């Protein structure tokens, strides 16, 4: 099966680093629990232009410096023995080298890396024929699952609430591994899109 995997918030523990850098850059004191990467401009009360300037100065660091989530590399590499791994990220293509270096640094194995430069992942998931997508952003998960692709949602403070059909919350990479390899979702879930 083809498994899609997001980077930030799924493989990489990016949000704490983003909050640290945003707080320093904009001289604020936001707490981790207040921030969602989809709503940075609202949370920090900044313009898209100010965010763009911040990313021009700190983007390379934000893409290459986060630590991996606990167990991410270990379990994803075990999942890779059974499934093809397609890393699908909202990161911009200009961060391809930083992203590839980060994945290599932590020994994360994959078959393909797709840098979209936007949060619109549904089309890429459909084009690649994914059987499942591992994501942390509920809004993206809803769009992907609406296309008939099951979503494993990595639990986070910003994605709480009731889950629609085809979205399954997991709290760790060990749980994701069990879902994809040890005790997979019923085959009928993966074949909905066929």
pLDDT tens sequence across 107-156: 999 999 999 988 899 999 999 999 999 999 999 999 999 999 999 999 99
- 62-76 pLDDT, tens digit per residue, is 999 999 999 999 999
**Quick one: pLDDT at residue 188?**
54
**DSSP H stretches of helix in the chain:** 14-26, 40-44, 48-64, 72-79, 96-105, 122-127, 138-146, 173-177, 187-190
**pLDDT higher than threshold 60 for residue 33:** yes
Q: What are the tokens at 3?
A: 């498994």
pLDDT of residue 190: 61
Q: How far is CA 106 from CA 57, 67, 163, 188, in A?
A: 24, 9, 31, 34
Q: What is this structure's pTM? A: 0.90
Would you state the structure tokens that stand for residue 163, as one six-digit string? 């889950």
């Amino acid at each position: 099966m083809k498994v899609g995997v997001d980077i930030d918030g799924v493989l990489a523990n990016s949000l704490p680093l983003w909050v640290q850098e945003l707080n320093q850059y904009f001289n604020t004191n936001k707490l981790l629990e207040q921030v969602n990467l989809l709503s940075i401009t609202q949370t920090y009360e900044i313009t898209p232009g100010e965010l763009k300037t911040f990313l021009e100065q700190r983007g390379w660091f934000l893409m290459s410096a986060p630590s991996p989530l606990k167990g991410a590399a270990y379990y994803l590499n075990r999942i890779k023995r059974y499934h093809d791994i397609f890393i699908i990220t909202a990161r911009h293509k200009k961060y391809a080298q930083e992203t590839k270096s980060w994945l290599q640094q932590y020994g994360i194995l994959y078959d393909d890396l797709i840098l979209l430069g936007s949060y619109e992942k549904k089309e890429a998931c459909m084009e690649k024929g994914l059987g499942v997508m591992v994501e942390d952003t509920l809004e993206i998960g809803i769009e992907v699952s609406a296309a008939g692709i099951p979503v494993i949602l990595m639990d986070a403070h910003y994605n709480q609430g009731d889950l629609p059909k085809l979205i399954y919350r997991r709290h760790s990479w060990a749980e994701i591994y069990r879902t994809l390899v040890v005790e997979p979702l019923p085959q009928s879930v993966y074949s909905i899109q066929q």
